[in-house]
Structure 1
Amino acid sequence: YEDTTGPLIIDFLRELGFTVDAPVVVPDGEPVGAAITAAVEGGARVVLTTGGTGLTPTDRTPEVTRALLEAEIPGIAEAIRAYGVAQGVPTAVLSRGLAGVVGSCVVVNLPGSRGGVKDGLAVLRPVLVHAAEQVVGSDH
């Protein structure tokens, strides 16, 4: 299927000064965990996933992400949901996306819709660089 959110995320990360590879598109479930692990092992400072955060039986991204997290950053995930609700999207509360740290990498699960991704990026814009710096021991 066509990846409509990857290009948004790539542009966003580049605007913040991150060096970004092409988006990696994988099926939900264990392939997401494998892709996160590969990115972290490859030196990624930030990994943003999209989709697989809802309530359907195939939505497994939070479960595979949780298994990898060394520390959660609950405020990010909570803020993304709250932002969506504030934008008039009551179903944003149904997202089970997580945020946390794997190694020296900040990992955030974003919703799969373009609107959900845009909301998530709006929340991340003022904090993501600082979070990535803190994870490697630099505060500013």
Structure 2
Amino acid sequence: MTPPEHETPGPGAHAPQSSAAPRTPYRALVVTASNRASAGVYADKGGPLIAEGLAGLGFTVDGPQVVPDGDPVEAALRAGVAAGYDVIVTTGGTGISPTDATPEATRRVLDHEVPGIPEAIRAEGLAQVPTAALSRGLAGVASRTLIVNLPGSTGGVKDGLAVLGRLLVHAVDQLRGGDHPRPGSPS
């Protein structure tokens, strides 16, 4: 789905007339939560995949920022919200191991949760990978920023991107004050 500011009018169409200033491009930040990747033990694979997927949706993407699990995740999220990103997508730290703390860090930043997003992401992966049910990822809003936790595996990232591709532009439009589309109309 192409963000409205990137759409071009069809042949014979007139550009919409508006007194409002043009909207700024959609901005996204990618944060990878991984003790080992942040220490250079292995390369981050999920973060670049997310950045590529978000760019394909028309977002200007910063990151991935690779940080250790725990408090550094919360710090990165708070900095991203303060910087005014429309979306922050994390990867990693959503499982059940003792060091997986991304959901807790995220919850401390959120104003309210949007539970349908992680439910849809888990459902997307369950048919192929039963362990997708072990993901504890969250999604929610902090100020006007949507934050979404994706699993650390590339498969989990792909499942998450499949879901986000269907709703992310609409969600950002809503956070920017857009109206709900009428039934049957494009969002």
The residue that corresponds to 1:105 in the other structure is: 145
Aligned residues: 139
> Is residue 7 from structure 1 mapped to residue 63 from structure 2 by the alignment?
no
Which amino acid counterpart does residue 122 of structure 1 have in structure 2?
A
- So what's the TM-score if we normalise by structure 1? 0.96
Within 1, Cα distance between the matches of 2:64 and 2:135? 22
Structure 1 unaligned regions, length at least 5: none
The DSSP-based 3-state class of the residue aligned with 2:177 is coil
The residue that corresponds to 2:161 in the other structure is: 121
Within 2, Cα distance between the matches of 1:106 and 1:133? 11
Within 2, Cα distance between the matches of 1:135 and 1:30? 26
Q: 2:86 aligns with which of 45, 67, 73?
A: 45
Within 2, Cα distance between the matches of 1:64 and 1:9? 20
The residue that corresponds to 2:66 in the other structure is: 25
Within 2, Cα distance between the matches of 1:82 and 1:21? 28
Higher relative contact order (CA 8 A, sep 6+): 1
- So what's the TM-score if we normalise by structure 2? 0.72
Which amino acid counterpart does residue 133 of structure 1 have in structure 2?
D
Within 1, Cα distance between the matches of 2:59 and 2:81? 14
Structure with greater Cα Rg:
2
Structure 2 unaligned regions, length at least 5: 1-36, 38-42, 180-186
Within 1, Cα distance between the matches of 2:51 and 2:161? 11
RMSD: 0.9
> Is residue 54 from structure 1 mapped to residue 95 from structure 2 by the alignment?
yes
Task: Report the CA distance between 1:22 and its aligned residue.
Answer: 2.5
The DSSP-based 3-state class of the residue aligned with 1:35 is helix
Give CA-to-partner distance per residue, 1:9-61, whole Å, 9 cap, x none.
11111111111112100001110010011111111100000010000110000
The residue that corresponds to 2:104 in the other structure is: 63
Higher strand share: 2
Which amino acid counterpart does residue 83 of structure 1 have in structure 2?
E
Which amino acid counterpart does residue 145 of structure 2 have in structure 1?
C
Q: 2:173 aligns with which of 125, 128, 133?
A: 133
Dislocated runs of 4+, deviation >4 Å? none
Percent identical among aligned pairs is 63
Higher helix share: 1
